[in-house]
Chain A
Amino acid sequence: MAGFFSRLFSGFSSIDDDFYEEIFETLVMADTGVRTSDAIVEKLKIQVKENKIKNPEECKKYLKKNMIEQMEVEDEAYDFLKERSVVFVIGVNGVGKTTTIGKLAGILKKEGKKVLVAAADTFRAAAGEQLDEWAKRVGVDIVQGKEGQDPSSVLFDSIQSAKAKNVDVLLVDTAGRLHNKKNLMDELEKMNRLINSYYPKVRRENLVVLDGTTGQNALVQAKEFSQVTKLTGVILTKMDGTAKGGIAVAVQSELSLPVKFIGVGEKVEDLSRFDAEEYIESLFEERG
């Protein structure tokens, strides 16, 4: 973990404009966005002034601490894994919703939970088959729909089935949709209402899946999806590449949405709980 921190700060003997500019650049290069990066740097400047910090080494500690504190997730954030719950997974196309659900099902199954997955993506060709494959792989039940069927009806069937089978966690996969398509967003809202009406007494967990390689648009996505349902967290996927996923910092700072899981591959074990410290370290690590 010598990473970027040591390299960045060792190159500077004093804290000056160039030093701050370098931090700003590093944050923006990690997709943290201009506004959030600016806010982080400004906060740091104030701390440096107030605490009369002179050397970059100490400044580094503040920067890291600030960001880790901001991104830290409370233990209660994972309570839905222990209780009877329904997990509503939404996001734009291709971010990895189906894969994430498959992995999540695997994790829960291992913990001895009774899991049911609802294949409510009835739009994308073969999405149902993809989830079915996952269900078989990890050994959980699935409620399937037909391509073109109203996803709400698949959801309704799943809820009935979850009740009848006394399922612990119902995982709902939805079709990817761009957040600026009104009718598709309305469809999600309808599904959200349906859960409220027909499965009211269980804990709700509404997770938006964001692709770690996405830039500033991920913030817009999180905002728009939170109009449809009360989001409880973010799953940040594809974090095994060279993208830093810094947009999650912007999402946290502007929407107070915590990252709860992080996806780093295509295998079941490649989904893990979010570790703020590790994430911030890697945010500043240089490539290669």
Chain B
Amino acid sequence: MAFEGLADKLQNVFKNLRSKGLLTEDDVKVALKEVKMALLEADVNFKVVKQFVKSVEERAVGQDVLRGLNPGQMVIKIVNEEMISLMGSETTEIKFQPGKSITTILMCGLQGAGKTTATAKLAGKLLLKGKKPLLVACDVYRPAAIKQLMVNGEKVGVDVFSMGDQHSPIDIAKASIEHAKKNGHNVVILDTAGRLHIDEDMMNELIQIKNNVEVHQSLLVVDAMTGQDAVNVASDFNERIGIDGVILSKMDGDTRGGAALSVKAVTGCPILYVGMGEKLADLEQFYPDRMANRILGMGDVLTLIEKAQESVDIDEEQGKDMIKRLKKGKFDYNDYLESMKQMRKLGGLSSILGMLPGMGAKMSDLEGAIDEKEIARNEAIILSMTKEERSNPKIMSLPRKGRIAKGAGVDIAYVNKFVKQFEQTQKMMKQMPGMMGGKKGRGLFGGFGGMKFPF
């Protein structure tokens, strides 16, 4: 989907603004309008958005624009920080009962949220942590729900307790605890039927289970694609039965997942896990920072900003020297090698691309197009050259190429190709001295096809 990343939008908004020290109220207002739309597009609840935008505005107005950032980036930085702190700054784990006592976990949610799948995934995860979980089939309504849990339980190697569909879920839950005690299980996970949060009878059933069985953790499974209604669902479940944590399912889709923010905002419950795939192993830890970036559609722009700053700081001197040389129209193999090193510091080409907004989903297409192995091979070729050859590319000849090919362990045709490619780059470098004027030496990347960063 053609998300126009928030970073790009803000870039446009602030096109005419160069860093001016403080963020003015007008700057912030304009920027936050875009932020608001981005959040709404990401399905964050309207009311949550309003509240959020207000708190960002309060924090942002009058803030210093940090050195090296433009106002747009500064706003993004603040938005991002606020969002991460709202979603919980640290990852939390399920709390277990001490010693040998049984921890009972109740799974609940709407129909089709992915409870049964999440339940089995969770059991598999706990098994790996050395627990002895028992899955309990309390969904006596949906046809074949019990069978589904049994099959999934078998797949992850966890016992499933079922009494068929003729008993009440309350009785099943009670009996399962007895069964767990007898058989040495220390975690009991109750898989309940999907239900609407406004279905009185069904909500009462959950309350009854909690009244009859000591439930230590009630986990709400929420479909990551849920829209504005996520707040109603979450707050109803929370008010009626009390929620301790959230599992966000179907996160392997391409949804922005704004529901995560809505749910956290109205319940205050931590998001414990995210479901990342169809396979039972695909239940992952929740990371608020990644989620924030995803909701904003920014990729890891911030990480990229940080990384770029770090590496620029270290290599500023070196960079200056190089730019001076480039401006004189000099570009040799040493420079090429150096610029490759710079790329490495940023985490390699595909990692950079992955951090860019809108690129994440397309990475699989690009993997074929950009070959990091090729870069490594090119590096080997340069390293097989003599010092003289590196600083004076003109002396390259056929016998030299033959020697280099042997040294680098590649075919001579490959060396030929690389030398040609280098010469083209050299030509290109001469043609665009303007690009080399960048204060921070970002123009270095011109060597790789003039890649432009969105900031």
Interface residues of A (CB under 8 A from B): 25, 28-31, 33-34, 92-96, 123-130, 132-134, 147, 178-181, 211, 213-218, 220, 223, 238, 240-244, 246-247, 266, 287
Contacts and interface: CB of A to CB of B under 8 A. Distances in A.
Among A31, A130, A240, A241, chain B packs the most CB atoms within 10 A around the CB of: A241
A130 B142 contact: yes
Contact of A214 (B46, B152, B227): B227
B225 A217 contact: yes
Interface string B352-376: 0000000001000000000000000
Nearest to A265: B196
A20 to B, nearest CB: 15
A111 B144 CA distance: 27
A138 B229 CA distance: 32
Contact of A125 (B114, B151, B196): B151
Contacts of A124: 148
A94 B223 contact: yes
A179 B225 CA distance: 12
B455 interface: no
B113 interface: yes
Contact of B258 (A95, A215, A218, A246): A215
B256 to A, nearest CB: 8
Given A215-B255, A215-B259, A92 B250 contact: yes
Contacts of A92: 225, 250, 253
Nearest to B146: A126
B143 A133 contact: yes
A126 B196 contact: no
Question: Interface residues of B toward A: which range?
Answer: 35 or more
B227 A213 contact: yes
Q: Is the interface of A mostly helix, strand, loop or mixed?
A: loop
Contacts of A211: 112, 223, 225
5 contacts: A31-B228, A126-B145, A216-B42, A241-B229, A242-B233
B108 interface: no
Interface string B123-144: 0000000000000000001111
Given A214-B226, A238-B111, A94 B250 contact: yes
A33 B110 CA distance: 22
Interface in B258-308: 258-259, 278
Contact of B253 (A34, A147, A179): A179
B151 A126 contact: yes
A34 B40 contact: yes
Given A211-B223, A218-B225, A180 B361 contact: yes
A5 to B, nearest CB: 19
A244 B229 contact: yes
B229 A220 contact: no
A95 B253 CA distance: 14
A180 B256 CA distance: 13
A134 B143 contact: yes
Given A125-B148, A217-B225, A130 B143 contact: yes
A93 B250 contact: yes
Given A28-B228, A217-B253, A243-B227, A94 B148 contact: no
A125 B152 contact: yes
Contacts of B42: 216
Among B112, B223, B232, B254, chain A packs the most CB atoms within 10 A around the CB of: B112
A29 B148 contact: no
B233 to A, nearest CB: 8
Contacts of B191: none
Contact of A29 (B144, B152, B225, B228): B228
Nearest to B115: A94
A242 to B, nearest CB: 5
Given A29-B228, A220-B1, A213 B253 contact: no
Contacts of A96: 111-112
A260 to B, nearest CB: 20
A34 B40 CA distance: 7
Given A130-B142, A133-B144, A217-B253, A241 B151 contact: no
Contacts of A216: 41-43, 227, 255-256
Nearest to B365: A182
A94 B252 CA distance: 14
Contacts of B216: none
Contact of B46 (A29, A180, A242, A244): A29
Nearest to B43: A215
Nearest to B116: A125
B131 to A, nearest CB: 22
Contacts of B223: 94, 211, 213-214
